[in-house]
Amino acid sequence: MEMIPGVKSIDNTKTIVKMASDEAMGKDDFLKLLIAQLAAQDPLDPMGAQDFSAQLAQFSALEQMKNVNTNLELIQKLETSSQNNSALNLIGKTVESHGNTFKTAANTSETLSYSLASDAESVRIDIFDITGTQVDMIKFGNQTQGKNKVSWDGLDKHGKLLPEGTYSYTVKADNRAGTPIVVDTFSSGLVSEVVFGEDQAYAIVNGKELPISTIKRVSMTQ
């Protein structure tokens, strides 16, 4: 019997067909297998109608699955394109992003921003290096409800200049009664450009990469 193109061997007793390659089976491969199975069957004991229907049902399911995967890939591409376009629209606008982590260069100051849920009588800002070690602490007296910010000089609590790197900060505030106040830390600035990474897009704000997914507010004015 002439071998069917793409078919490596046929076991007539068990109707097993081996493909010449280990590639994922597609609809064309499935048809080759079905034809090979029909050609190799015992004429005295042919495939029953129920078995043949089951084979056709598998082929139909394979085709539908391939169409679903194709549609999902198309939807993903369209969604990525839409997100990229939205990210590009951020250029030239001022954004705010949740978070308390920042990267700083040596001998530069950093603006630490936070929002108070109500008026505070005392505010304490603790600054930590990438290992979680406290490197500086700033204390303030009365501060009003809403957005506040302070400029950190990049020096540790002993007045020594800290190296460039990644730092974080926490803000604790109490009202006149000594009750803790809810504080939200964030960063803000003008988006100068947008870059696209493997996982998501990033807005360049104050020379630093800001994940688009962390942006909570966009405005036209700074």
- C-alpha closest to that of 211 among 53, 86, 98, 74: 98
Distance of CA 35 to the CA centre of its chain: 45
Separation between Cα atoms, residue 171 and residue 120, nearest integer Å: 12
Q: Which of 181, 97, 110, 196 is nearest to 146 (CA)?
A: 181
d(CA 178, CA 122): 9
Extended strands (E) in 76-143: 94-98, 101-104, 110-116, 122-128, 134-140
| The predicted structure's pLDDT at residue 48 | 62
State if pTM tops 0.75: no
Per residue in 35-89, pLDDT (tens digit) is: 776 676 666 666 566 666 676 677 667 677 777 777 676 666 556 556 667 778 8
Provide mean pLDDT across the span 4-19: 44
Domain boundaries, the chain: 7-87, 94-219
State the architecture of 94-219 in CATH terms.
Answer: Sandwich (2.60)
